[in-house]
Amino acid sequence: MAESTSGLDTLELDAKLKKYRLNRHELGLITEILGREPQGVEWALFSALWSEHCSYKSSKVHLKKLFSRSKRVVEGFGENAGVVDLGQGERVAFKIESHNHPSFIEPYQGAATGVGGILRDIFTMGARPIALADYLCFGEPAAPRMRQLLDGVVRGIGGYGNCVGVPTVTGQTEFHESYNDNILVNAMAVGLFAEGERVFLSKARGAGNWVVYAGAKTGRDGVHGASMASESFEADSAAKRPTVQIGDPFFEKLLIESCLEVMAQDLVVAIQDMGAAGLTSSSFEMASKGGVGLRIDLDEVPLRDPTMTPEDVLLSESQERMLLICEPAKFAAIQAIFHRWGLDACKIGEVRDERLVELAWRGETICRIDPDALVERAPQYMRAYKPWKARNRVGGEAEVSTGVEDGARFLLSLMGHARGTSREWIYKQYDSRVGAKTVRDCSDSVAVLRLPGSGRGLGIVLGCRPHVMRWDAREGGIDAVAYPAIELASKGFEPLAVTDCLNYGNPEKEPVMSEFVASVEGMSSVCEKLDAPIISGNVSFYNETMGRNITSTPATGLIGLRADVDGVPASRFTREGETVFALRLPMAAIGGAAQELTRQPATGYGQLEPSLIAPFTRLLLSLTGARPGGPIVGSSRVVGKFGLAYALARMCEGGVGCRIDDEKLKTVRGELSVDDLFREHLYEVILTATPGKDAELEAAVREARGALAMAAFLPIGRTGGRALEIGSLLRSPLDLLAQAYGTGVWARMETGSDKTGEVRA
Amino acid sequence: MKIGVKVMPRKEVLDTQGRAVENTLREHGQKLDRCTVGRYIVLDLPDADSEAAMARAKTMAETVLCNPLIETFELERL
Amino acid sequence: MSRRVGVLRFPGTNCDRDVWQAVEMAGDRPEWLWHADRFDAAAYDALYLPGGFSYGDYLRSGALAARAPAMRSVREAADRGVPVLGVCNGFQILTEARLLPGALVKNQSLRFNDDWVELEMKNPVPHFAGPVGPGARVRLPVAHADGRYYVEDDELKRLQDNGQIWFTYVKNPNGSVADIAGVKSEKGNVAALMPHPERAMRNWMGGSDGFAFFKGRG
């Protein structure tokens, strides 16, 4: 292609392709679809909608294989968020999404607009947002800008979520050097449809219906944001920033109320928020999904800056804007509702039968194009990858060394280390109870909301443990669903459905793509066994800075359901003299997070078997769920990062200690060593019975275990005292642990006087 | 030497606070074209020389007081 | 007997539905009152100003809402002796409207703070928190960034002398003057506090001490 028909020479063409982030192959495809080369704003349209961010061109071939249906799924992929039927007239919409690149550039606004965007995905479907959760990955606390990024992101999430009146009920915060130059900010939102409330979709319908623009005016914010999110960071990323998008939670609150009111009165045919690639993606997607055409008069779009070009108008990512389709006769009523809430709504176009999107500007038609060309016909790449081979394996459990010798000293240093310490400094900055549904908040391992209609409990938990991903991507993918599912089950919640936010490096690099495929397959296989489909999410590729990729991080959000909210097991010991039980499904053991801190190479033994995870959650549920005679499990915790000693220390947070018996521990684990106390056995759950129910709990396990002979259940000790004692291996006074675990690290980090806790093995 | 630092939202960036105040003033029947809300910071500096003080204030404004992504600043001698 | 209770909604109010639910739990009849509309000051047995971020907390917390038309009716009602309760942002609005003394400024930590706090009652407001007497302690959630109560020394003395301090924090979470968590007007019918009683109505919420605030003896 030396000389193109449009008269551009090779250099000019290359410059244009670079500007619009398209390649020659893609230009060829566009030319084939259009029967000519793209012109004018078409370049910008293809650039935005064929970007990785909007088109999923590197991931779609694999995402199609995800387990995504169950009898509970009302809406899955393709809509703004997935919707699940909880029965009894209640349905929830939920989704998780990334805002990594914007948050690295401007942490406060990046995180804030991430929250705003995910909330719009929820209420655009007609659901009232009832909860937020955040999955955050930061670099090492001492890395450049990291304190500022952490502070800005936390303030941004709080600033937006608190103001808009949606509680932040759970979260996960990771620290690792692989995120030093590329942090992850993933926000999940959950919305509730009460009985009789309709689910609204984004399919435009009905020739002659009006296209209505509502909410904030359009400014130059984030023009080309979608294609930027599809690129790696370079050293000069500071220099090529588009105008930062500013979020206004106050405005969003008004938008939520007005949109929900408009939908409650059944005034709209279809609705979609203007997110990535703004008006372009919302209009073309609504047309494509509805199988109709639209004519949009760009001069009617309310602008903040009158000097904007049509390209700017189409690509602006100004926040808090919605696109609605309505019957002409209903427009006045819609406008009245928006006005009452102090917002504007105006007609900017019409729906047509002919499947063409026609854009007009200053009286001229500047674009006439089949919406499917942009939405459905983007290229799909089968990026190079290799079939997964297990890695970092050793011959046996005993070889999985964490290198820890002084258990008490190591445990104490973990409690004060950024990776092990309390997240209270973070979550105290979030309103956890607005909405008056919160039963368990960020201080617990699973968030619990009470569904007002039925009085049942909705459990929310985030997943993906990057240190497991660093050990082995396939196992890490399985764990990203299995671990949170077991957490839900440990509190009596049946896992129902999953949303995922797939954060990876550059998909054009084979090792990255290989991890992507392996982990996504791992996730999907567990979902299928659990009958908990993946119903929404997004993919964030190109989390790469100057050639360095992040840890592949498939963050997940799971929701679960239980029949009541009263019998949810505590996460801490509450009474002295109780028997401490361990329920185990021994499939694998890894050196895990402890190994990373002691700078040992990552090793592990065994492998996770998805087909065993479902029966294990069912076994747990039979113990922890609501029972006619009242609950029999008083407290529970899944043993996670840093292994058993750390999990027990967390269970002692309430001030009730425990004493674990050497001999019993040896019976359970087959080995008695300080090293083993910090290994991570997949999977292991600590339980205590409610008062006087030990025998009943043991009987219940015997009864339910039939289906899972591999599972072991044994008493390992008793609660009581003011110390954590693990036989002859470790003794830590609770006040010392509590002191180390307090908010000290954060407070010192805030003032810059301390970088992070020091680890002593 | 006292230097005033006026920090205002950049014109092309959405001023959320200004928009809310502007709309409220209008609701109260006030006439105005636009309202912008910024910050005013007064620095009391040790420099006797006003050029040196301005230079010091400029550094502070550029590095801490103003976020150049979303704000602009102006200095004035007080 | 069930009371007719007006619940005010400003743009950005976000605890309105929670307060509505609390009023219903207490057996009263809530009705929405819209910020842009005046209402009949004699029509309600009590008025509630819920929490949230009216007008995004822009300018000053509560400042823009305090000047809304509905607040003129609130003032008339307050003058007639109608019980008025402000919670969190409602407290900020009532101080900005000068229906209550003092001001609420940024927390000492300069951060939003979500927590449970213990309060001690200093002087009763019979309309709200009926069953609780002076010296009694209640446990309620707080969630605010601008909750530090501020008054000048002479004004503080006047509040103390008049018995206008409703609640103090047992452990001060935000730097409030004299640990003040809630105050009442001179006549005693207008009262407000930063903590959220509507978020502590039932045990599953983490506590039920808030229930009493919606069960007035008025």
Torsion sign over Cα A524, A527, A533, A536? negative
* pLDDT over 80 (residue A745): no
Percent of chain C with pLDDT over 90: 92
Chain C residue numbers with beta carbons less than 8 Å from the beta carbon of B37 are 58-59
* pLDDT over 50 (residue A755): no
Residue from C37, C58, C71 whose CB has the most chain B CBs within 10 Å, to mutate = C58
The residues facing A548 across adjacent strands are A545
C-beta separation of A501 from A135 below 8 A = yes
> Residue A165 is encoded by which pair of tokens?
């009146």
Q: Do C64 and B21 touch (CB under 8 A)?
A: yes
Judge whether C146 is closer than 8 Å to chain A, CB to CB: no
Q: Do B37 and C64 touch (CB under 8 A)?
A: no
Single-letter residue type at A700: A
Q: Mean pLDDT lowest for which of A625-629, A696-700, A755-759?
A: A755-759
> Residue A710 is encoded by which pair of tokens?
């591999």
- The stretch C63-67 carries a mean pLDDT of 94
pLDDT confidence of residue A228:
58
CA C84 to centroid of chain Cα atoms: 8
* pLDDT over 50 (residue A137): yes
Q: Do A431 and C112 touch (CB under 8 A)?
A: yes
CB atoms within 10 A of CB A10: 11
Torsion of CA C181, C185, C186, C188, to 10 degrees: -90
CA C11 to centroid of chain Cα atoms: 18
Reported as type and span, the H/E element at residue A365 is strand A364-369
pLDDT confidence of residue A748:
64
Number of inter-chain CB pairs under 8 A, A vs B: 40
* pLDDT over 90 (residue A238): no
Q: What is the pLDDT of residues C35-49, one digit of tens each?
A: 999 999 999 999 999
* pLDDT over 60 (residue A59): yes
pLDDT confidence of residue A672:
86
Chain B residue numbers with beta carbons less than 8 Å from the beta carbon of A221 are 13-14
Confidence of residue A33 (pLDDT cuts 50, 70, 90): very high
- The partner residue sitting opposite C112, judged by closest CB among A162, A249, A566, is A162
Query: In 3D, which of B77, B68, B73 has the Cα closest to residue B45?
Result: B77
> Residue C190 is encoded by which pair of tokens?
């207008």
Number of inter-chain CB pairs under 8 A, A vs C: 87
Cis geometry, peptide bond prior to residue A56 (ω within 30 degrees of 0): no
List of E strands, A224-333: 270-273, 293-297, 321-326
Reported as type and span, the H/E element at residue A371 is helix A371-375
pLDDT confidence of residue A704:
86
The mean pLDDT value of chain B amounts to: 92
Burial class (CB in 10 A: 0-12, 13-18, 19+), C32: exposed
Chain C residue numbers with beta carbons less than 8 Å from the beta carbon of B16 are 56, 58
CB atoms within 10 A of CB A761: 18
Q: Which chains touch C (3 or more CB pairs under 8 A)?
A: A, B
Reported as type and span, the H/E element at residue A561 is strand A553-562
Q: How many domains does chain B contain in total?
A: 1
Q: How far apart are CA A725 and CA A717, in angstroms?
A: 10
Q: What are phi and psi of A723, to 5 degrees?
A: -145, 160
Query: At the top level of CATH, which class does the domain C4-214 belong to?
Result: alpha beta
Q: 3-class SS at A483?
A: helix
Judge whether B20 is closer than 8 Å to chain C, CB to CB: yes
Residue with tokens 């759970």: A170
Q: Do C55 and B20 touch (CB under 8 A)?
A: yes
Percent of chain A with pLDDT over 90: 86
CA A463 to centroid of chain Cα atoms: 8
Q: Do C55 and B24 touch (CB under 8 A)?
A: yes
Q: 3-class SS at A55?
A: helix
Chain C residue numbers with beta carbons less than 8 Å from the beta carbon of B20 are 55-56, 58-59, 64
Q: Do C17 and A433 touch (CB under 8 A)?
A: no
Cα separations in angstroms, B12 against A221, A222, A304, A640, A686: 8, 11, 8, 47, 55
pLDDT confidence of residue A297:
97
Give me the CATH number covering residue B14. Answer: 3.30.1280.10
* pLDDT over 90 (residue A535): yes
Q: Do A219 and B20 touch (CB under 8 A)?
A: no
Closest residue, chain C, to B23 (C-alpha): C55
Q: How far apart are CA A199 and CA A696, in angstroms?
A: 44
Residue from A304, A308, A319, A340 whose CB has the most chain B CBs within 10 Å, to mutate = A304
Q: Do C114 and A429 touch (CB under 8 A)?
A: yes
Higher model confidence: residue A626 or residue A492? A492
Q: Mean pLDDT lowest for which of A143-157, A626-640, C123-137?
A: C123-137
Burial class (CB in 10 A: 0-12, 13-18, 19+), A263: buried
pLDDT confidence of residue C126:
87
Number of inter-chain CB pairs under 8 A, B vs C: 21
pLDDT confidence of residue C218:
43
Judge whether B20 is closer than 8 Å to chain A, CB to CB: yes
Q: Which residues have CB under 8 Å from A395's CB, separation 6+?
A: A605
Which residues numbered 29-58 in C keep a CB inside 8 Å of some CB on A?
Answer: 51-53, 55-58
Reported as type and span, the H/E element at residue A227 is helix A225-228
- The stretch A549-558 carries a mean pLDDT of 98
- The partner residue sitting opposite A244, judged by closest CB among B23, B27, B70, is B70
> Residue A561 is encoded by which pair of tokens?
């359901």
Q: How far apart are CA A576 and CA A548, in angstroms?
A: 50
Reported as type and span, the H/E element at residue A450 is strand A447-450
Q: What is the pLDDT of residues A279-288, one digit of tens each?
A: 999 999 999 9
Burial string for A187-199 (b: 16+ CB within 10 Å, else e) reads: bbbbbbbeeebeb
Confidence of residue A499 (pLDDT cuts 50, 70, 90): very high
CA C13 to centroid of chain Cα atoms: 13
Q: Do C58 and B21 touch (CB under 8 A)?
A: yes
Q: Do C56 and B28 touch (CB under 8 A)?
A: no
Chain C residue numbers with beta carbons less than 8 Å from the beta carbon of B27 are 36
C-beta separation of A409 from A587 below 8 A = no
The residues facing A369 across adjacent strands are A357
Confidence of residue A664 (pLDDT cuts 50, 70, 90): very high
Percent of chain B with pLDDT over 90: 72
Concatenating the DSSP letter of every residue in A670-704 gives S---HHHHHSEEEEEEEEEESTT-HHHHHHHHHHH
Closest residue, chain C, to A157 (C-alpha): C112
Q: What is the pLDDT of residues A292-301, one digit of tens each?
A: 999 999 999 9
Q: Do A450 and C15 touch (CB under 8 A)?
A: no
Judge whether B36 is closer than 8 Å to chain A, CB to CB: no
The residues facing B5 across adjacent strands are B41, B75
Cα separations in angstroms, A11 against A23, A29, C203: 13, 20, 71
Q: For chain C, what is the radius of gyration of the CA atoms? A: 15
Residue from C35, C53, C55, C96 whose CB has the most chain B CBs within 10 Å, to mutate = C55
pLDDT confidence of residue A750:
64
Alpha-carbon distance B19 to nearest alpha carbon in chain A (angstroms): 10
Q: How far apart are CA A43 and CA A496, in angstroms?
A: 42
pLDDT confidence of residue C129:
76
Q: Do B28 and C59 touch (CB under 8 A)?
A: no
Concatenating the DSSP letter of every residue in B1-26 gives -EEEEEEEE-TTS--HHHHHHHHHHH
- The partner residue sitting opposite A430, judged by closest CB among C21, C55, C114, is C114
> Residue A227 is encoded by which pair of tokens?
């294609």
Confidence of residue A235 (pLDDT cuts 50, 70, 90): low
- State the distance between the two ends of chain C, measured CA to CA, in whole angstroms: 11
**Number of alpha carbons in the 13 Å side-chain half-sphere of residue A366:** 20
Q: What is the pLDDT of residues A683-700, one digit of tens each?
A: 999 999 999 999 999 999
Chain B residue numbers with beta carbons less than 8 Å from the beta carbon of A339 are none
- The stretch A225-242 carries a mean pLDDT of 56
Judge whether B25 is closer than 8 Å to chain A, CB to CB: no
The mean pLDDT value of chain C amounts to: 95
Percent of chain A with pLDDT over 70: 94
Q: What is the pLDDT of residues A318-343, one digit of tens each?
A: 999 999 999 999 999 999 999 999 99
Alpha-carbon distance A250 to nearest alpha carbon in chain B (angstroms): 8
**Number of alpha carbons in the 13 Å side-chain half-sphere of residue C51:** 28
Burial class (CB in 10 A: 0-12, 13-18, 19+), C1: exposed
Chain C residue numbers with beta carbons less than 8 Å from the beta carbon of A566 are 204
Higher model confidence: residue A6 or residue A569? A569
Supply the angle between the helices A249-264 and A146-164 in degrees, to the nearest 10: 40
Alpha-carbon distance B44 to nearest alpha carbon in chain C (angstroms): 23
The mean pLDDT value of chain A amounts to: 93
- Catalytic (active-site) positions of A: 53, 99
Concatenating the DSSP letter of every residue in A279-304 gives HHHHHHHHHHHHT-EEEEEGGGS-BS
Q: What is the pLDDT of residues A381-424, one digit of tens each?
A: 999 999 999 999 998 888 899 999 999 999 999 999 999 999 99
Q: How far apart are CA A384 and CA A402, in angstroms?
A: 35
Q: Mean pLDDT lowest for which of A28-32, A483-487, B20-24?
A: B20-24
Cis geometry, peptide bond prior to residue A683 (ω within 30 degrees of 0): yes
Q: Which residues have CB under 8 Å from A365's CB, separation 6+?
A: A358, A359
Cα separations in angstroms, A148 against A66, A630, A745, A754, B66: 37, 48, 15, 14, 14
- Catalytic (active-site) positions of C: 88, 196, 198
Closest residue, chain C, to A433 (C-alpha): C199
Confidence of residue A743 (pLDDT cuts 50, 70, 90): low
C-beta separation of A695 from A630 below 8 A = no
- The partner residue sitting opposite C21, judged by closest CB among A251, A430, A436, is A436
Chain B residue numbers with beta carbons less than 8 Å from the beta carbon of A216 are 14
Structural domain including B20 reads 2-77
Could you tell me the residue ranges of all domains in chain C?
Answer: 4-214
- The stretch A445-453 carries a mean pLDDT of 96
pLDDT confidence of residue A754:
45
Residue with tokens 């968020």: A81
* pLDDT over 70 (residue A188): yes
DSSP-derived pairing of the beta strands C29-34 and B71-77: unpaired
- The stretch A479-499 carries a mean pLDDT of 98
Residue from A115, A162, A251 whose CB has the most chain C CBs within 10 Å, to mutate = A162
Q: What is the DSSP letter of A641?
A: T
Q: What is the pLDDT of residues B2-21, one digit of tens each?
A: 999 999 998 888 899 999 99
pLDDT confidence of residue A1:
40
Concatenating the DSSP letter of every residue in A406-436 gives -HHHHHHHHHHSTTTS--HHHHTTS---TTS
Query: In 3D, which of A339, A281, A348, A377 has the Cα closest to residue A53?
Result: A281
